[in-house]
Amino acid sequence: MTRLYLSPPDVGAIERALVAEAFDSNWVAPLGPHVEAFERELAERCGVAACGALSSGTAAVHLALLLSGVGPGDEVLCSTLTFAASVNPVRYVGGTPVFIDADRASWNLDPDLLESELEGREKRGRPAKAVVAVDLYGQCADYGRIEELCERHDVVLIEDAAEALGSTAFGRPAGSFGRLGVLSFNGNKIVTTGGGGALVSDDAEAIARARFLSTQARDPAPHYEHSQIGFNYRLSNILAAIGRGQLQTLDRRVEARRANFTRYVAGLGDLPGIEFMPEARYGVSNRWLTTLTIDPDAFGATREDVRLALEADDIESRPLWKPMHLQPVYAGCRVVGGSVAESLFDRGLCLPSGSSLTPAQHERVVAIIRGVHRA
Ligand SMILES: Cc1ncc(COP(=O)(O)O)c(C=O)c1O
């Protein structure tokens, strides 16, 4: 039996044909027609005016912060329950993250805590410069409230939709909330280019500036002229070709990941102490990863017992993100709340969730987890 991965790439004939086309036309070098087309198609999919294709989601977060004017000494309110790449760019620009706990209903940035933090800051005369809200495991945060709060307090909102391409909330696509949206095409994402990312926005000027900064900030001149510091953050034409192929089948990918979730619920939902990530009433998640929590008293074993049992059968699973306020690198940073994210981390597990997961593979996972419960 082969190892079962959490979220392996799922590529096929369409991607192969588009990459071959890029080779045959010799558009191998950076940029080219697939980049432009990928940007158009992504903007359309996210329901926004413009998109800049980049080398990673991390680069997109970095540029989003720069475009929002975040600089040394500025404070940025961030979801604590996320991957480090949502937050590390705050440090790249010399800022300081302030972490906000998750809510139980969506496992995303808690709007009540955000509100009290924004109000407290207003009273103290210390406004935050930006908010980075994350769409965790594909589920959009509660933008019905978060957008309104950021507008009221005049704080820039950045949506980290790295995990959420194909999801919707309040009838709008993931990526379309706030001033700038971040996408990732890392190898484990629902749409992959091997490695890549994008910035999406209704602000076409901001995206034009992101393209400029991501191609070394070259001023218009026949020679190399630079009046600002730039970055080498652009996506290549070959990788954009892969992304275009992936995007053509995004709806099928969402369906497959949602079907994984439904099958896990059918296979495990009756076990005591198991609870799946809830789906917020306001949206439809792409269910990038199926995640659940295990109450050790009710289940009779811990999350770690389950993870190790899966590992012994060569099945990859992962604890939920370790909250950023518990990370050694962010020790000493302010955190608002924190106990919800901590308990999700203690008990939470991500299960194999690829869009190519077969029913037999799914049954293998379910059988092991049921076996741990019986034992
Ligand atoms: C929430 C979140 N933000 C940002 C990133 C960074 O994206 P990338 O790996 O493309 O740099 C990822 C994934 O890797 C992510 O899950």
Residue 29 has pLDDT above 80, yes or no: no
State yes or no: pLDDT of 208 exceeds 90: yes
**Contact between residue 82 and residue 134 where contact means Cβ atoms under 8 Å apart:** yes
What pLDDT, on a 0 to 100 scale, did the predictor assign at position 54? 98
The pLDDT of residue 347: 98
If you average pLDDT over residues 231-235, what whole number do you get?
A: 97
325 C-alpha vs ligand 1 centroid, how far in Å? 18
Residue 125 confidence (pLDDT) above 70: yes
Closest CA to 2 of 347, 314, 357, 321: 314
Atom number, ligand 1, closest to the C-alpha of residue 197 = 10
**For residue 22, what are the CA distances in angstroms to 13, 40, 112, 221?**
14, 17, 49, 28
| Mean pLDDT, residues 298-327 taken together | 98
For the question of whether the overall pTM of this predicted structure is more than 0.95, the answer is yes
Query: Is 89's C-beta closer than 6 angstroms to any atom of ligand 1?
Result: no
For residue 136, the ligand 1 atom closest to its alpha carbon is 1
pLDDT over 90 for what percent of the chain?
Answer: 96
141 pLDDT more than 80: yes
Q: How far is the CA of 56 from the centre of ligand 1 (A)?
A: 8
| Mean pLDDT for the chain overall | 97
Confidence label for 315 from pLDDT (cuts 50, 70 and 90): very high
Q: Reading across the β-sheet that carries 348-351, which strands appear in turn?
A: 274-276, 290-294, 348-351, 318-319
Ligand 1 proximity of 159 Cβ (cutoff 6 Å): no
Q: Decide whether any atom of ligand 1 lies within 6 Å of the 288 Cβ.
A: no
Whether 27 shows a pLDDT value over 90: the answer reads no
- Confirm or reject: Cβ of 86 under 6 Å from ligand 1: yes
Q: Is 352 in the pocket of ligand 1 (CB under 6 A)?
A: no
- Residue 85 Cβ < 6 Å to ligand 1: yes
Would the CB of 235 count as within 6 Å of ligand 1? no
Ligand 1 centre from 300 Cα, in Å? 34
The fraction of the chain above a pLDDT of 70, given in percent, is 99
pLDDT over threshold 70, residue 365: yes
Is residue 31's pLDDT more than 90?
no
Average pLDDT over residues 221-241: 96
Give the H/E segment covering residue 56. none
* Spatial distance between the Cα atoms of 307 and 212, rounded to a whole number of angstroms: 45
Query: Is the beta carbon of 237 within 6 A of some atom in ligand 1?
Result: no
Residue 1 in this model has a pLDDT that exceeds 70: no
| Rounded average pLDDT over 293-322 | 98
**Position 28 pLDDT exceeds 90:** no
Nearest to 246 by CA among 177, 173, 195, 182: 195
Q: What is the average per-residue pLDDT within 248-265?
A: 98
> What pLDDT is attached to residue 285?
98
Mean pLDDT of 172-179: 98
**CA 146, CA 350: separation in Å to the nearest integer?**
26
Q: How far is the CA of 86 from the centre of ligand 1 (A)?
A: 7
Rounded to whole angstroms, the Cα distance separating 168 from 346 reads 28
- Tell how far the Cα of 160 is from the centroid of ligand 1, in angstroms: 8
Query: Rounded to an integer, what distance in angstroms lies between the CA atom of residue 117 and that of residue 130?
Result: 12
Instruction: Say how many C-beta atoms besides its own lie within 10 A of residue 98's C-beta.
Output: 20
